[in-house]
Structure 1
Amino acid sequence: MKDIFSLQGKNAIVIGGAGGIGQAIAKGLAFYGAKVGIASRKLENLEKAAQEIQTDINKEVKIFQVDSANEDSIKALAGKVVAEMGKVDILVNSQGINIKQSALEFQMDQWDALFNVNVKGVMMCCKEFAKIMTKQNYGKIINVSSVRGARACGGGNSAYNSSKGAVDMMTRTLAVELAPFNITVNAVGPTVTETPMMTKLLTDNPALKERLTGAHPLGRLSVPEDMIGAAVFLASDASNYVTGQVIYPDGGLTAIG
């Protein structure tokens, strides 16, 4: 019996891979054998992430600059990845922003800016890299969504939550459309995750951290590495018959409402 979780011989590109959840997923894919490239807008962030991954697991990753809200930039990225890596077996869309404003005062230009990255940008990346995958008759697309695509919250998150709900439905719809090409499309839905930015916020607001921690049955907040297992599963042959699904590595949050 073969190792169905191995990623040996697979090429992966992680968009939004220069920090936080995306960087953790890139590190996990590389550790399990994939040849990995990471893409983001800022070169200095890419270089820092690539060095950290190499230090952690002694695996090199390629870096690519991209503006994931710009279609021409994404098309250029797809061409560069193929030119440098030869093929693309795995696409991870981990790009995203959050703009918090009251629903009664939300500036529509800000709403559009968020959707351009979180929804349109994800769709454009799926579109361009799926074109490559259809020629191979193989591919794994993994979108990073959120528990907030399925469970609402307040706090000025109407745009963010709505964008993640859109990503969930996009994932399911693309799974159906791309199935004839042997391409699976799934998503992971993280909960509040202690990325460096979030850690500072929680350190400055211990009462908020206590409240958020208590909302999770497992009794702790997520760290970026909690996403690796689900991502490796969805990227590997272990998930060949899994498509159109959202997996929630969320400490049990969605199980309780």
Structure 2
Amino acid sequence: MEGLNGMCAIITGSAQGMGKGIALGLARRGVNVALCDLKWAELQETGDQIKTETGVHVLCRKVDISKQEEVENFVKEAETEFGRIDILVNNAGIHPLKPIEQISSEEWDLVFAVNVKSDFFFAKAVLPGMRKRKFGRIICISSEAGKNGGTVAALHYAASKGAVLGFVRNLAQQVGADGITVNAIAPGRIMTAMSGAVSPKENRKFIDMSITKSLGKPEDIAYAVCYLASREASFVTAETMAVNGGTLRD
């Protein structure tokens, strides 16, 4: 999209999977990207690939997004490096596949810290600059599980992704008058390491339920992000875009 060229974005959890796909999708449209993840080797490979393929400015940092100070330091560095942040994509998430009996209180808190609280940390850090410039795009990756409980989703994961939807709808109301949109994307089953953690039988159930009779690709999520991040999407906010091959029909 022409409306993306020259923008600057932060994408969390961008070493692999959907995050990598989103980073590549934005970079191929002329967006400078600041990438963070705990998987440092994979993140460096992704950053090098983006530089080679697109020539945009890339910043890579190892960040524990559950820690507010690390998030704030990363955002400050990205703003200094790029001059501004136009787009925030809160993509990072974890999904320990366990029944309720095996979920500890500590693990519950960790899932919510990574999947929800980090969205708050990043949004709070980028909003002053976005408000000052009267422009911004915040996109949070939720999940089909946040809407319907999921097919094989663990309890804490589904609950955290539902919380993301409430976060998006409320934040959108607070910042809309400043030219900032806040939206969510609710992917179905996408071909990533997360979907690879379940059995082929479970993935087959999803395929059979879908209209397209297929799993999604990271690129499918990237296309949706690129639209919501663009200047052309200025009248779309507080929305949840389903990208699921037709398994959940609103």
TM-score by length of 1: 0.91
Q: Distance in 2 between matches of 1:194 and 1:33?
A: 25
Q: Which residue of 2 aligns with 1:80?
A: 77
In structure 2, the CA distance between the partners of 1:220 and 1:152, relative to structure 1 (3 Å rule), is same
Aligned pair 1:125/2:122, yes or no?
yes
Give the 5 Å matches for 1:126-165: 126-153=123-150, 155=152, 157-165=154-162
Match of 2:66 among 69, 74, 91: 69
Cα offset, 1:34, TM superposition: 1.2
* Corresponding residue number in structure 1 for 2:200: 206
How far, CA to CA, are the matches of 1:97 and 1:88 in structure 2?
25
Q: Deviations over 1:19-75 (max 9, x none)?
A: 111111111111112111211123212101112334554545221221100000011
2:195 touches 2:203 (CA, 8 Å); kept in 1?
A: no
Residues 1:40 and 2:37 aligned together: yes
Shift of 1:183: 0.7
Aligned to 1:29: 26
Output the CA distance in 2 between the equivalents of 1:43 and 1:156: 27
What is the identity, as a one-letter code, of the residue corresponding to 2:28? Answer: F
User: Which of 224, 230, 234 is residue 224 of structure 2 equivalent to?
Assistant: 230
Q: CA deviation at 1:5?
A: 4.5
1:218 aligns with 2:212: yes
Change (3 A) 1:236 1:18: same
Q: Give the secondary-structure state (helix, strand or coil) at the position aligned to 1:247.
A: strand
Q: Distance in 1 between matches of 2:62 and 2:202?
A: 35
Aligned residues: 250
Structural RMSD (CA): 1.8
1:178 alignment counterpart: 175
- Deviation (angstroms), 1:6: 2.7
* Structure 1 unaligned blocks of 5 or more: none
Check the 8 A contact 1:68/1:117 in 2, yes or no. yes
CA 138–59 in structure 1, closer or farther in 2 if over 3 Å, else same = closer
Using the aligned pairs only, state the percent identity: 31
Report the alpha carbon displacement of residue 206 of structure 1 after superposing the two structures with TM.
3.3
Provide the C-alpha distance between the structure 1 equivalents of 2:201 and 2:185, rounded to a whole number of angstroms. 28
Deviation (angstroms), 1:210: 2.1
Q: In structure 1, what residue type is equivalent to 2:221? A: M
Contact 1:13-1:88 at 8 Å conserved across structures: yes
Whether 2:14 is the aligned partner of 1:20: answer: no
Which sits farther off after the overlay, 45-54 or 10-19?
45-54
Please give the residue correspondences for 1:82-97 in structure 2 after superposition, counting only pairs within 5 Å: 82-97=79-94
Structure 1 residues 236 and 156 mapped into 2: Cα distance closer, same or farther (>3 Å)? closer
Please identify, of 87-96 and 209-218, the stretch whose mean Cα deviation from structure 2 is larger.
Answer: 209-218
Secondary structure, in 3 states, of the residue corresponding to 2:85? coil
> What code does the residue aligned with 1:255 have?
R
